[in-house]
Amino acid sequence: MSLEHKIRMIAGTFILVSLALGWWVSPYWFLFTAFVGLNLLQSSVTKWCFMENILRRLERDRA
Write down the domain spans for the chain.
Answer: 3-62
- Phi, psi angles (nearest 5°) of residue 48: -125, 130
Residue 62 pLDDT class (50, 70, 90 cuts):
confident
The per-residue pLDDT for 48 is: 95
Cα separation values, 38 from 11, 24, 43, 50, Å? 11, 23, 9, 12
Whether the per-residue pLDDT at 63 is higher than 80: the answer is no
Q: Convert the pLDDT of each residue in 14-45 to its tens digit.
A: 999 999 999 999 999 999 999 999 999 999 99
The per-residue pLDDT for 1 is: 87
The per-residue pLDDT for 57 is: 95
